[in-house]
Structure 1
Amino acid sequence: MRFINKLGMGVAAASLLLSSCTKDFRDLNTNPIVSPTTNPETLIVAAEYKLVDRDFEWFYDNYQYIMRWMQFVAQDPAGSANNSLFGANSNTNGLYNDLYNIIGRYTSQIQSLVDKMSAEDKAKYQNVAAIAKVLKVYAAWRVSDANGSIPYTQAWAARDSSMFTPKYDSQSSLFDVWDAQLKAAVTTLAANAAGQVSYGSAEMFYNGDAAKWAKAANVLRLKLAMRLYKRSDVKAKAIVADVIASTAGIFTSNDEEWKFISSATNFARSGNWNPDNGSSFVAAKNIVDFMYTHNDPRLRVFFKPNSYTQSVIDSLKNGGALSSGTTYNPRRYVGIPSSPDAKSNAAYSRLYTRRIYTITLGGKTSQVTYDTLSKVQTRLFDLDQDGGAGSGGQYTQPIASYAEMCFILAEFTERGVNTGGTAEEWYNKGVTASLRAYDKIGATAKIIGYSALGAEEITTYLADPAVAYTGTLDEKLEKIGVQNFLNLFKSPQEAWGSWKRTGYPKEGGILPFEPFMISGVKSTVPRRWILPIPSNTQENIPNYNAAISDMQKEGAYGQANDLTGRVWWDM
């Protein structure tokens, strides 16, 4: 893993990104900007960069919808109302186009370039091609995860075979294709044949380190297996067993996980990165209550304390706004209900207004405003917030974390798979890794006033009855699901996927999921994006229509524009 300066990519890499407006398969496979003789080391920059430079996805997909659907955040009563909480803005689902225009386009071209090399040169570029394949599989899986059937096996074939109307591969077939491709990549990378060309510093995650990429590919196989489990527990368990037996290994600590850490200068700065830029949300009640009640150290990383410090209370008392008998409440983390109907509940009325006080100090009368609610720690997402650019800090984006891997293995162990450890061991490792990872994320982002994680906090948290690995099988699975969900706070798309797969958080559960009530009617939380209709051309409409029809036959997909429908893996 390495740092990258957003504005220091180089002219060649920057020019590759200029083609991102391409809409159809004919154009994206024939656009001359991607030269047939481009160096593979140059192509990797644009592909990897687009995996992490996702400000539109944060603003439209995550801030506006997914983080609200998952009840990480809720509508700020002081902001403008979001009347389409369960709709979808036309700017959502942007990774779909970025997969075809950039990520898959350039990783496919890397493979194409290697395939056309002499036998001698091709042998030297095995690792280069394998790393590109892992990136391509990850991006395609992320897109399919919320879209269902997508073009994949034929999607980028037009340059070499004039295939301008690629078929849509079903999700059921894609899981087999992706696992086979990842397994082959692991074999290649673990062998690390002599004389291999390396991406080196052009590759932003692992500097081209084959051994680390082999581990990342194995962990991605585990993620796929977890999604596959309900459809085929036999296949899923076989994948896990194969990964555990792999000589390439898996992550052993947070230091090995697949993540991006920016430079301290030009990445994640203002604009769409800013959660306060029209998003209008605050912390949601249930997650704040759970984390506060059970002393979860990540609370101070996820959310800000409210305005009522001891000094504020003293000032309000001295200024006559509060009675002299008013006592300071040390609880400064307060969330708001997620359900729109809660606004009419008198019990929460004090949360829906910012209090304006009139105080008189030193003979001068003035008005001051304070907020009871907690906001999100905006510096986790936008380094220009809370102190601005001069405060430094670095942005972190997990892609496949060690903690998530541990939770996956804990669950598979409970389901009877030999993972090399007990479920409790994997679970405790996962919780500990998540606490430590977010501690580092918070410190690296330079959250104002951040206090470092103490070892005793980990011990206390693991011993809490709502966290400790005790109870029935169902209770243990719920604890795994809840802790993995919390761990995915910085990866909302995957938290959404985890919730769909496990049902955790659930209504009435350890971490309660609040029903969304609108005018007395319970609303259904969306479960997928609308599969984009091919644009700029009608050539591939028949394949698109066939994909929709097939998905309607094999699951609970529903109508094409039904966000509450389910893709194949989501049973």
Structure 2
Amino acid sequence: MRSIHKKILAVCIPSLMLLPSCTKHFEDINTDNNKAGEESGVPEYNFSRAVLEFTGNSDYSYETWRVNIIYCANMMQQLSNVSWYAGDKYIQNDGWASAYFERAYPDQIKYITDVIRVTKDDAYQSNLHNISRIARAMIFQRLTDIYGDVPYSEAGLGYSDRIFTPKYDAQKDIYMDMLKELEEAATALDASKVVPGQGDLIYNKGGSVNAATVTANWKKLAYSLMLRLAMRMTKRDEATAKTWAEKAFAGGLISSNSENAYVLHDASGGRTTVNRNSNILSGEWNAINTPGEASLSKTFIDFLKNNSDPRLQYISIVPSSSSEAPADQIGMPNGYDTNGSNSPTDITKAPGYPGDLKNYSVLNKNVLLKLNGPTFLLTYSQVELLLAEAALRGWNVGPLSAADHYAKGVEAAMQQLAQYDGSATITATEIQTYLAAHPFDAANGYNQINTQYWAACLLDWYEAWANWRRSGYPTLVPVNYPGNATGGQIPRRMLYPATEAAANPTNYQEAITRQGTNALTTHVWWDKQ
């Protein structure tokens, strides 16, 4: 694989070569050529920057560690810890809970907004413009799902429009505009026009994919995002959700793992290009090798183990023995600590304590945590499981039944492991054996579908948390750790930064008044109570 650094240079250098040489004109001599401006930017580079940052590549993994791992992974009981991670104990840490908000605007939204603006009236770059609109919707869905009402319509306009205190848009309005943007952008993509080269880290990784394939894949991603947005609204507005889910299906969705939206990272570029989950969990910070810091949760291990799930042999490993054998895997229960034998929450008091923290399973770094591994953004398995629920609801999403889509979703999730590492190949026989032992039951369909969705979102814990809040599945038993901030309930949102109350007080307070207290227990719009 060519390095991402090389890809970015390939985008930047030709553009820099086209910059005009100095002239003798007075106005040019008296222009500050060192001052950055839109005219000196490279739209494709900014697009790459926004997408790469969306995978969590802000230096020091600020938002990835704090929100995706410390909070979401532990709240969703796929990871567990007895160290300083607050997530599975629902302890409020304002700096951690606001980290994604703080990094998304300067590191993602600023760059993607700039691309959209400078390419808006450029016919030559119309595909980059519309692909960026799709990427912007993807970026904003995660952000608004985490926080609810956020700056949207005026976001990223500080340089161009001098808007330094953007209004907070209502989440309902954000969702409606994202759906509109996806529909318009997908329709406008044109295979007869130029597409981004190596700067497209998702669907043109080598820079040599033909325009027809690139535009077709981006269209499918747009409609797949539309489906995810639609399904997120099922508790709030089922009629609107149905309309947009059916429209997404008609537009054409991701239809195989080969069309998965993901970024493949580069291990040689340091913090800015390596896979951030991997760097935190097994690389520079190596959390999985710090006993009790990032173990696999008992909830997750028991789900895989009790169902004889063939994924287990590739997902987990026991540090003390290096065993990958499913029978040896032990998950750590959530909500414990190492406060000493006199504490009722000390891990040694947990039922079935295996005698040493190193006997609890951790993620298998040889498969899932490579520094040059992929970060998945939206996958075929997720699409099929969302279609399974739509079909179960009786919506018009094609001739296949909910059971058919469910089977395809489970199959795709199992086969997807091979995209992390070729050794993690689950055979067709293993998959069919699993499906035969766990046939789809419509009466328990919502639970089955969304529990599989939870399993399929391993490492994308933002999405696992969002769909759990939306669907209520899997049925997770909350912990009631002493001093928690939620009354022993799994948090429903993260927190706005404290700086917003001071820097943007009027708009901040308007959002609080409309949505509710800036608390972990406040529900976002689509998470209807």
Aligned to 1:335: 331
Amino acid at match of 2:394: G
C-alpha deviation, 1:3, in angstroms: 6.1
Deviates more, 1:260-269 or 1:490-499: 260-269
Q: Indicate if the aligned counterparts of 1:431 and 1:483 stay in contact, CA closer than 8 A.
A: yes
Q: Indicate if the aligned counterparts of 1:86 and 1:526 stay in contact, CA closer than 8 A.
A: no
Aligned to 1:107: 112
When Rg is computed on C-alpha atoms for both structures, the one with the higher figure is 1
Q: Name the SS for the 1:490 alignment partner.
A: coil
Aligned to 2:28: none
Q: Name the SS for the 2:198 alignment partner.
A: helix
Change over 3 Å in CA distance of 1:11–1:242 after alignment to 2: closer
Matching of residue 419 in structure 1 with residue 392 in structure 2:
no
C-alpha deviation, 1:74, in angstroms: 1.7
Whole-angstrom CA distance in 2 between matches of 1:13 and 1:296? 46
Q: Structure 1: which 5+ residue stretches go unaligned?
A: 15-30, 311-328, 355-370, 385-393, 444-449, 507-512, 553-558
Matching of residue 565 in structure 1 with residue 518 in structure 2:
no
Change over 3 Å in CA distance of 1:6–1:348 after alignment to 2: farther
Matching of residue 282 in structure 1 with residue 295 in structure 2:
yes
Amino acid at match of 1:383: K
Q: Indicate if the aligned counterparts of 2:63 and 2:103 stay in contact, CA closer than 8 A.
A: no
* Amino-acid identity (%): 24
Aligned to 1:130: 130
C-alpha deviation, 1:241, in angstroms: 1.5
2:470 pairs, out of 491, 494, 501, with 501
Deviations 1:415-464 (A, max 9, x none): 11111121111110000000000233243xxxxxx563222210111112
Change over 3 Å in CA distance of 1:67–1:160 after alignment to 2: closer
Q: Indicate if the aligned counterparts of 1:478 and 1:504 stay in contact, CA closer than 8 A.
A: yes
C-alpha deviation, 1:57, in angstroms: 3.0
Structure 2 matches for 1:193-212, cutoff 5 A? 194=192, 196-207=193-204, 209-212=214-217
Whole-angstrom CA distance in 2 between matches of 1:304 and 1:438? 15
TM-score, length-scaled by structure 1: 0.76
Change over 3 Å in CA distance of 1:106–1:514 after alignment to 2: same
Aligned to 1:10: 9
C-alpha deviation, 1:501, in angstroms: 1.0
Higher relative contact order (CA 8 A, sep 6+): 2
Deviations 1:91-113 (A, max 9, x none): 44433233321322122222222
Aligned to 1:460: 433
Whole-angstrom CA distance in 2 between matches of 1:548 and 1:451? 46
Size of the aligned set, in residue pairs, is 475
2:227 pairs, out of 206, 210, 222, with 222
Q: Indicate if the aligned counterparts of 2:95 and 2:497 stay in contact, CA closer than 8 A.
A: no
TM-score, length-scaled by structure 2: 0.82
Deviations 1:362-397 (A, max 9, x none): xxxxxxxxx43212223456436xxxxxxxxx3111
Larger helix percent? 2
Whole-angstrom CA distance in 2 between matches of 1:410 and 1:97? 36
Whole-angstrom CA distance in 1 between matches of 2:286 and 2:180? 36
C-alpha deviation, 1:258, in angstroms: 0.7
1:374 pairs, out of 345, 349, 361, with 361
Aligned to 1:185: 185
Q: Structure 2: which 5+ residue stretches go unaligned?
A: 14-33, 205-210, 337-343
C-alpha deviation, 1:353, in angstroms: 3.0
Whole-angstrom CA distance in 2 between matches of 1:257 and 1:383? 18
C-alpha deviation, 1:37, in angstroms: 4.2
C-alpha deviation, 1:80, in angstroms: 6.4
Whole-angstrom CA distance in 1 between matches of 2:154 and 2:353? 57
Whole-angstrom CA distance in 2 between matches of 1:292 and 1:112? 50
Aligned to 1:41: 44
Aligned to 1:389: none
Q: Indicate if the aligned counterparts of 1:3 and 1:260 stay in contact, CA closer than 8 A.
A: no
Matching of residue 525 in structure 1 with residue 486 in structure 2:
no
Matching of residue 63 in structure 1 with residue 69 in structure 2:
yes
Amino acid at match of 1:288: I
Amino acid at match of 2:393: R
